Amino acid sequence: MDGNERLEKARKRITESIAQNIHLYGLPPSAGRQYGMMFFQDRPLTLDDMSEELGMSKTSMSTSIRALAEAKLVDRVWERGVRKDLYEVKDDWYQGFIDMFNSRWRSSVSLHSTAIRRSLNELDELINDETISPEVLEKAKIDKEKILYIRDYYDWLDRLIDAFEEHDIFNLVPKKNQTEE
């Protein structure tokens, strides 16, 4: 096996690893292979370039590149004299993870926080209603405590998201090159 074959073998292993794990970003394995292939390129690529390299249809490449762009893993770039759209992998994997994590969890926290607020208001009204039975009152008080626990969790999760957005997370879990400096 010559040097070129060994290089391709190492690249293929990483590309397949990315394809197997890209589901964490909500993407199919084909998008992971496309991303992996792009990762090892030293230039931006057109959909035609990608289609030729991977042996997949241009339509499939277009669908995957759109999903990769929405996940903030690739950027469309411009080059003088090139009329077709060009794409390249974003250099900052840390920020890519932060963007994906924040967008998914921020919307989840918002949805749950609204439900929690509404339920707490309803339970407070119920607890203050002198016409309800002692059994219902007791259940409402227990439910309120459970929901307050959930609220505390979502408050913590909101602060965790803030720590990612503000890059404070790197004070707790530094990037490797930060610890070597």
Task: Answer yes or no: is pLDDT of 170 > 60.
Answer: yes
pLDDT of residue 181: 44
Element at 87 (helix H, strand E): strand 86-89
pLDDT attached to residue 178? 54
Residues 6+ apart with CB under 8 A from 137: 126, 127
Residue 21 has pLDDT above 80, yes or no: yes
Distance separating alpha carbons of residues 112 and 15, to the nearest angstrom: 36
Integer distance in angstroms from the first to the last C-alpha of the chain? 38
Mode of pairing for the β-strands spanning 86-89 and 74-77: antiparallel
For 78, counting Cβ atoms within 10 Å of its Cβ (0-12 exposed, 13-18 middle, 19+ buried), the class is exposed
- Predicted confidence (pLDDT) per residue in 89-127, tens digit: 998 889 988 988 888 889 899 999 999 999 999 999 999
Per-residue pLDDT band at 171 (split at 50, 70, 90):
very high
Backbone phi, then psi, for 12, in 5-degree steps? Answer: -60, -40
Give me the residue label for tokens 């607890």: 127
Mean pLDDT estimate for the chain: 92
What is the SS3 assignment for 77? strand
